[in-house]
Amino acid sequence: MRVKRPKGIAPFVLVVSLTACGSQQPAQQAQDSSLTWAIETQPLTLNPQQWGQNKVRLLVFNQFDALLSRQKDGTFQPWLAKSWKVSDDGLTYTLELRDDVTFHDGTKFDAAAVKANLEQFLVPGYNPGIASIQLKSFARAEVKSPATVEITLKEPDALFLDFLASPLAGQVSPKSLKAAKDLKSGGPDLVGTGPFILESYVRGQEIRYRRNPDYKWPPAGAGHQGPAYLSRITYRFLPEAAVRVGALTSGQVQVIEGVPATEAAMIKQDPGLTYQTSLNSGTSFSYYFNTAHAPFDDQRVREAFREAVDVDAVLKAVYQGTATRAWSVVTKGGPFYDASLEGSFGGDTAKANALLDAAGWKQRDAQGYRVKDGRRLTVRSVASAPFVRDRRDILAQAIQAQVKQSAGIDFQVKIVDQGTAQKAYTEGEYEIFENSRGDADAGAALNLILPGKGPINRTGFSDPDVEKWLAAAAGSASLDERKELYAKVQRAVVKDKAIVFPVYVPADQIAAQKSVQGLGFEAGSGTPRSAYDVRIGT
């Protein structure tokens, strides 16, 4: 995947620094520029350590910096930590911190701040989910010197570095951790070290930031150094896609994210606009088969369902050629993707019917559905409405029509409130569970979904080999070794056991007025990145 680097940025900096020669002011402060960006999703919280919505990463990293930054190939680069060392036993992490960083409230960022931020997660009730999953192996943090912090783990955890590069490791001023009025929801009084300072937040309307004039510690790989180009940025919340696009084309906002397939072609054709897209990391949007009961306890039926769907045709119909087909539970957007799975399943109607015949679903009823022992071949999908996005309801309807026509499968789709969905999951009243996760490290998602006792294992599938590989990958510091182990996992659940039906790779889109430069996606997660590099060019 290409991540567009702003072209012509070097000459621009040169010109600006020449014009700024006479003054003492940093170049970027001389110009006053502001921008309005319409986004789809409202943050539930502005505290990075409570973050859970992938779509609001772009907001988090305006106001806060993490300790490390994650690259597309899965490796890590310096951010607030200049360097880090992991002991041979994988238990001790020694971080050398930048010593020139200050929080927005004027306090200094140092080893004590890192320790305070980590220990905040141990406060009961602060964030139980993170404390018991991402930070489960955290034992203690020690201040070795003002710029050196030593973190000790209870057991090796390959995902710990990913935690240090996530919004959850966004560094909050310890002073504001104590003084913030509403710590968990965050706000202007919960301050970080980021390139922008949160000015105001009107729920349902907008969030405003102004430039942090002292900023000079962007993550490795940033498009420039020094303070952000924009003096102000406003994010407007416009949940309706058609309204976002209209606001962009009429010039009321300069940037939007979340462009529906139906509008993408129109934007691409408009000479005044730019359009870019990036695949997300994490897991593909997949149908997970519930193997705990009939009919998907029979592998032939699981394979038949996948063969009954012509995925390419369905995606084309629903997303008009803008969706990327998935071949594995892990997305193409991340480093662990096993490309050898491509073309290994799907779209063979004859095979689907042969498999179902072999599995004993031979008869058909009056409506053309297959039956066995008087029972119809019915599979149900229950989805919780808040998690249905990207027109996944329409996608399900398209798949429903296909499996009926090509193989006589009765696929029922229900979109319900979260409580009803949870009840169905708890009671096993479903045959298909649909899910995608945007974790920058796919390992985090696989650990939740694939082990027999995984917190969101809704397949009833458990396999000692898969669990062994997942555990080994989580304990290994070697990227190559992890790739190999996750490839084995993918082959097992996609090819050998047919537990998942990968459908498409979730992606993010940004559309903007041509004059806006420096927009792009985070290398690690594939989601839109912060406004640090964004500028209005000529």
Q: Select the span of 19-27, 103-111, 181-189, 471-479 touching other proteins (CB under 8 A).
A: 181-189
Q: Is 429 in the site for other proteins (CB under 8 A)?
A: no
Instruction: Give the span between the Cα atoms of 357 and 214, in whole angstroms.
Output: 70
Q: Select the span of 202-210, 340-348, 480-488, 520-528 touching other proteins (CB under 8 A).
A: 202-210
Q: How far is the CB of 415 from other proteins (least distance, A)?
A: 11
Six-digit token string for 296? 């998907």
- Environment class of residue 359 by beta-carbon count within 10 Å: exposed (0-12), middle (13-18) or buried (19+)? buried
Six-digit token string for 403? 């499996």
Instruction: Give the span between the Cα atoms of 412 and 406, in whole angstroms.
Output: 16
Cis peptide before 295 (omega within 30 of 0): yes
Q: Select the span of 296-304, 312-320, 332-340, 415-423 touching other proteins (CB under 8 A).
A: 415-423
Six-digit token string for 2? 């290409």
Q: How many helices (H) and strands (E) does the chain have?
A: 17, 24
Q: How far is the CB of 129 from other proteins (least distance, A)?
A: 5
- Where do the DSSP E strands lie in 493-536? 500-505, 507-513, 516-517, 535-536
Of 182 and 199, which has the nearer Cβ to other proteins? Answer: 182
- Environment class of residue 216 by beta-carbon count within 10 Å: exposed (0-12), middle (13-18) or buried (19+)? middle
- Which of 28, 49, 50, 117 is in the footprint of other proteins by CB under 8 A? 50
Question: Residues for the chain: how many in total?
Answer: 538
Orientation of helix 311-319 relative to helix 392-407, angle to 10°: 140
- Pairing status of strand 232-237 against strand 255-257: unpaired
Local structure of 437: helix, strand or coil: coil
- Which of 114, 255, 267, 421 is in the footprint of other proteins by CB under 8 A? 421
Q: Is 133 in the site for other proteins (CB under 8 A)?
A: yes
Of 156 and 246, which has the nearer Cβ to other proteins? Answer: 246
Of 180 and 531, which has the nearer Cβ to other proteins? Answer: 180
Task: Give the Å distances, CA to CA, from 530 to 40, 116, 169, 469.
Answer: 15, 25, 16, 35
Instruction: Give the span between the Cα atoms of 357 and 304, in whole angstroms.
Output: 10
Instruction: Give the span between the Cα atoms of 444 and 442, in whole angstroms.
Output: 5
Of 135 and 311, which has the nearer Cβ to other proteins? Answer: 135
Six-digit token string for 261? 């397939």
Q: How far is the CB of 142 from other proteins (least distance, A)?
A: 25
Of 239 and 452, which has the nearer Cβ to other proteins? Answer: 239
Q: The dihedral of CA 392, 396, 397, 399: what is its sign?
A: positive
Site mask, other proteins, residues 92-131, x = CB under 8 A? --------------------------------xx--xx--
Contact 490, 329 (CB under 8 A): yes
Q: How far is the CB of 287 from other proteins (least distance, A)?
A: 16
Q: What are phi and psi of 134, to 5 degrees?
A: -65, -30
Q: How far is the CB of 203 from other proteins (least distance, A)?
A: 6
Six-digit token string for 150? 């030593």
Q: Is 42 in the site for other proteins (CB under 8 A)?
A: yes
Of 352 and 511, which has the nearer Cβ to other proteins? Answer: 511
Q: What are phi and psi of 124, to 5 degrees?
A: -55, 135
- Which of 27, 35, 38, 315 is in the footprint of other proteins by CB under 8 A? 38
Q: Which of residues 293-332 bind other proteins (CB under 8 A)?
A: none
Q: Which of residues 449-478 bind other proteins (CB under 8 A)?
A: 455-456
Q: The dihedral of CA 80, 86, 92, 94: what is its sign?
A: negative
Local structure of 512: helix, strand or coil: strand
Six-digit token string for 79? 């951010």
Q: Is 132 in the site for other proteins (CB under 8 A)?
A: yes
- Which of 364, 423, 468, 514 is in the footprint of other proteins by CB under 8 A? 423
Q: Select the span of 268-276, 320-328, 337-345, 422-430 touching other proteins (CB under 8 A).
A: 422-430
Q: How far is the CB of 443 from other proteins (least distance, A)?
A: 14
Of 27 and 421, which has the nearer Cβ to other proteins? Answer: 421
Six-digit token string for 317? 């119909």
Q: Select the span of 61-69, 201-209, 221-229, 270-278 touching other proteins (CB under 8 A).
A: 201-209
Q: Is 23 in the site for other proteins (CB under 8 A)?
A: no
SS3 for 271-308, per residue?
Answer: CCEEEEEEECCCECEEEEECCCCCCCCCHHHHHHHHHH
Q: Which of residues 371-400 bind other proteins (CB under 8 A)?
A: 384-387
Applying CB under 8 A, what is the total number of residues that bind other proteins? 50
Q: How far is the CB of 247 from other proteins (least distance, A)?
A: 5
Q: Which of residues 215-274 bind other proteins (CB under 8 A)?
A: 236-240, 242-243, 246-247, 249-252
Applying CB under 8 A, which residues contact other proteins? Answer: 38, 42, 44-45, 47, 50, 52, 124-125, 128-129, 132-133, 182, 184-185, 202-206, 236-240, 242-243, 246-247, 249-252, 384-387, 417-423, 426, 435, 448, 455-456
